[in-house]
Structure 1
Amino acid sequence: MNKFAMMITALLTFVGSSAIAQDTIVLPGEVRTYVLEQNTPSVQYEGEIVVGQPVPDVVEVYPIPDQPDFAYAVVNEKRVIVNPRTKTVVQVLE
């Protein structure tokens, strides 16, 4: 393999792994535990809840104590972790 091909391969590997790392959010264990333990009513929504997209305005978002970077909602019986500032879905808990 020539040097040019090796450089392109290395660059594509780096760019690909960087993109994957940006999509992965590691939740602190206490965030997941807290959200799963809450008895919060579910909002019914006909659309799809998608990671990376904001939840609809009809969905109430609840803060998580001592975790200012995370909030949650319950939509269609699924617990959803969101960014409280943007209401963007970070993770859907199954």
Structure 2
Amino acid sequence: MSKKILLAGAILASLAPAAALAQSGGAAAGAATGAVGGAIVGGPVGAAVGGVTGAIVGGIADQQQPEFRQYVTTQKVPSYTYKEEVRVGAVLPESGVTLYEVPAQYKVKGYRYTVVNDTPVLVEPSTRKIVQVIN
């Protein structure tokens, strides 16, 4: 048992730089770090849970979502009509969708926002994938 604890501690210590990267690197890095951390703690199930939880690193925090939604409303950003489900991982087309800068107060780097089917979303600009749906 103590060997497992020592091994887990060593692995977590080696992940410290990756965790810092996850904070500045966005959802992909957060998901990877979360998956590795989850695997250490809970095996395959922990990896899956850790990956999903880690993916939201770099997005808008839950407590800031109502404020951000209000901000988007005041900007009167036109809503893009999307025929598919608005969900994380959906890829938006290159034409017809305008991506906007997220204000610095939300501490979101590397992402843009837009409105899809009247719902604000964060988008990874190079892939145009939705990385967070703002509820």
TM range (shorter): 0.5 to 0.7
* Structure (1/2) with the larger helix percentage: 2
Instruction: Name the residue aligned to 1:75.
Output: 116
In structure 1, how many angstroms separate the alpha carbons of the residues matched to 2:46 and 2:75? 40
Q: Percent identity?
A: 28
Map residues 47-62 of structure 1 onto 2, 5 A cutoff.
47-57=84-94, 58-62=96-100
Q: Contact 1:82–1:88 at 8 Å: present in 2 too?
A: yes
- Using the alignment, how far apart are the partners of 2:83 and 2:45 within structure 1? 39
Which segment drifts farther, 19-28 or 50-59?
Answer: 19-28
Write out per-residue CA displacement over residues 44-87 of structure 1, whole angstroms, 9 at most, x where no aligned residue: 23233221222122211112243432211112111111123322
CA distance, structure 2, for counterparts of residue 68 and residue 16 of structure 1: 25
Structure 1 residues 54 and 80, CA, compared in 2 at 3 Å: closer, same or farther?
same
Kept in 1: contact 2:56–2:132 (CA 8 A): no
Stretches of structure 1 lacking an aligned partner (at least 5 in a row): 1-9
Root-mean-square deviation (CA), in Å? Answer: 2.9
**Distance in structure 1 (CA, Å) of the matches to 2:84 and 2:97:** 12
Question: For 1:32, which of 68, 72, 80 is the aligned residue?
Answer: 68
Higher RCO (C-alpha 8 Å, min separation 6): 1
Q: What do residues 7-50 of structure 1 show as CA deviations (whole Å, max 9, x unaligned)?
A: xxx42343233223233344253883543542211122323322
Secondary structure of the residue aligned to 1:49 is coil
TM-score w.r.t. the length of structure 2 is: 0.48
Moved more, 81-90 or 20-29: 20-29
Count residues with an aligned counterpart. Answer: 86
Greater mean deviation of Cα atoms: 25-34 or 40-49: 25-34
